Chains A and B, each alone.
Chain A
Amino acid sequence: MPDLLIELFSEEIPARMQARAREDLKKLVTDGLVNAGLTYASAGAFSTPRRLTLAVEGLTANSPTTREERKGPRTDAPEAALEGFLRSTGLTRDQLEARDDKKGQVWFAVIERPGRPAAEIVAEVLDSSIRTFPWPKSMRWGAGSLRWVRPLHSIICLLSDEAGATVVPLTVEGITAGNTTRGHRFLSPDAFTVTGFDDYAAKLRRAHVILDSAEREAAIRQGAENLAFARGWEIVPDDALLSEVAGLVEWPVPLMGVIEDRFLDLPPEVLQTSMKEHQKFFSARNQKTGRIEGFVTVANIETPDDGATILAGNQRVLAARLSDAAFFWQNDLREAKAGMGAWAEGLKSVTFHNKLGSQADRIKRIAALARELAPLVGADADQAEKAARLAKLDLRSAMVGEFPELQGTMGRYYSLAAGQPENVADAARDHYSPLGPSDAVPTARVSVAVALADKIDTLAGFWAIHEKPTGSKDPFALRRAALGVIRLRPNFPVSVILEKQVERGLLAAANQHAVGFRATIRINTPDAKVLEEAVDVIRTFPLTEKGEVWTKEAHEQFLEVREAGELYYLSSAPEDHFERFNGQAKAGRPENIAADLLSFLHDRLKVYLRDQGIRHDIIDAVLAQPGNDDLVLVVNRATALNAMLQTEDGRNLTQGLKRAGNILAQAEEKDGVEYSFGADVKFAETDEERTLFAALDTAEPAIKAAIAAEDFPAAMTAIAHLRAPIDAFFEAVQVNTDNQIVRRNRLNLLHRIRAAGQQIADFTKIEG
Chain B
Amino acid sequence: MTSPNRPRSFQEIILRLQNYWAAQGCAVLQPYDMEVGAGTFHPATTLRALGGRSWAAAYVQPSRRPTDGRYGENPNRLQHYYQYQVIIKPSPANLQDLYLGSLRAIGLDPMVHDVRFVEDDWESPTLGAWGLGWEVWCDGMEVSQFTYFQQVGGHDCRPVSGELTYGLERLAMYVLGVEHVMDMPFNDPDAPIPLTYGDIFRQTEREYSRWNFDQADTDTLFQHFKDAEAECARILSADPVDGAGRTIPMAHPAYDQAIKASHIFNLLDARGVISVTERQAYIGRVRALAKACADLFVTTEAAQA
Contacts and interface: CB of A to CB of B under 8 A. Distances in A.
Interface string A281-298: 000000000000000010
Given A15-B119, A153-B93, A317-B141, A310 B150 contact: no
B304 interface: no
Contacts of B158: 140, 143, 145
Contact of B93 (A137, A151, A314, A351): A151
B4 interface: no
Contacts of A299: 114
A313 B276 contact: no
A132 B278 CA distance: 41
A141 interface: yes
B119 A14 contact: yes
A140 B160 contact: yes
Interface residues of B, number: 45
Given A143-B90, A313-B174, A349 B275 contact: yes
A522 B112 contact: no
A515 B278 CA distance: 10
Contact of B121 (A137, A316, A519): A137
Contacts of A305: 112
Interface residues of A, number: 55
Interface in A306-349: 307, 309-310, 312-314, 316-318, 320, 349
A142 B92 contact: yes
A532 interface: no
Given A11-B96, A142-B92, A320-B76, A358 B226 contact: no
Nearest to A516: B277
Given A12-B134, A140-B160, A142-B160, A526 B230 contact: yes
A231 to B, nearest CB: 21
B222 to A, nearest CB: 9
Contacts of A692: none
A52 to B, nearest CB: 15
Interface centre among A141, A312, A354 (most CB of B within 10 A): A141
B155 interface: no
A143 B117 CA distance: 23
Contact of A142 (B91, B174, B277): B91
Contact of B278 (A141, A150, A519): A519
B54 to A, nearest CB: 9
Contacts of A14: 119
Contact of B117 (A11, A317, A520): A11
B90 A186 contact: no
A14 to B, nearest CB: 4
Nearest to B136: A12
B302 interface: no
Interface in B285-305: 285
A182 to B, nearest CB: 12
B78 to A, nearest CB: 15
Interface in A127-146: 137-145
B202 interface: no
Interface in A267-288: 279
A590 to B, nearest CB: 25
B282 to A, nearest CB: 7
Nearest to B133: A150
Contacts of B167: none
Interface string B103-118: 0000000111111111
Contacts of A15: 118-119
A206 interface: no
Contacts of A151: 91, 93, 148
A297 B276 contact: no
A522 B278 contact: yes
B189 interface: no
Given A303-B112, A520-B281, A526 B226 contact: yes
Contact of A519 (B1, B111, B275): B275
A658 B131 CA distance: 67
A529 to B, nearest CB: 14
Interface centre among B116, B133, B134, B159 (most CB of A within 10 A): B116
Nearest to B52: A143
A313 B141 contact: yes
Contacts of B276: 349-351, 358
A185 B140 CA distance: 17
Interface in B211-250: 226, 230
Nearest to B281: A523
A526 B160 CA distance: 38
Contacts of B277: 351, 354, 515-516, 519
Interface in A517-531: 519-520, 522-523, 526
A309 B113 CA distance: 7
A300 B114 contact: yes
Given A304-B112, A310-B113, A139 B148 contact: yes
Contacts of A320: 75-76
A555 interface: no
Contacts of B282: 523
Nearest to B285: A523
Contacts of B199: none
A16 interface: yes
B1 A309 contact: yes
A12 B137 CA distance: 13
Contacts of B284: 574
A388 interface: no
A297 B111 contact: no
B200 interface: no
B131 A139 contact: yes
A205 interface: no
A367 interface: no
Given A314-B140, A349-B276, A186 B111 contact: yes
Nearest to B96: A11
A220 interface: no
A550 B132 CA distance: 45
B93 A317 contact: no
A12 B91 contact: no
A185 B285 CA distance: 44
B136 to A, nearest CB: 10
Contacts of B207: none
B139 interface: yes
Contacts of B195: none
Contacts of A546: 275
Contacts of B92: 142
B118 A140 contact: no
Interface in A47-106: 49
A301 interface: yes
B284 to A, nearest CB: 6
A242 interface: no
Contacts of A722: none
A300 B118 CA distance: 12
A627 B92 CA distance: 70
Interface string A344-386: 0000011100100010000000000000000000000000000
A313 B138 contact: yes
A246 interface: no
A248 interface: yes
Contacts of A310: 112-114, 139
A129 B236 CA distance: 45
A164 to B, nearest CB: 31
Interface string A593-631: 000000000000000000000000000000000000000
27 contacts: A12-B117, A15-B118, A16-B119, A49-B117, A139-B131, A140-B150, A140-B160, A142-B160, A143-B158, A186-B115, A248-B118, A249-B116, A279-B140, A303-B112, A314-B139, A320-B75, A320-B76, A349-B275, A351-B276, A354-B277, A516-B277, A519-B277, A519-B281, A522-B278, A523-B285, A526-B226, A526-B230
Given A12-B118, A14-B119, A140-B160, 4 more contacts: A49-B117, A137-B121, A519-B278, A526-B226
Interface of B: 1, 75-76, 90-93, 96, 110-119, 121, 131-134, 138-141, 148, 150, 157-160, 162, 174, 226, 230, 275-278, 281-282, 284-285
- Ranked nearest first, the 4 interchain pairs of A and B with the lowest CB-CB distance are A313-B139, A14-B119, A12-B117, A143-B159
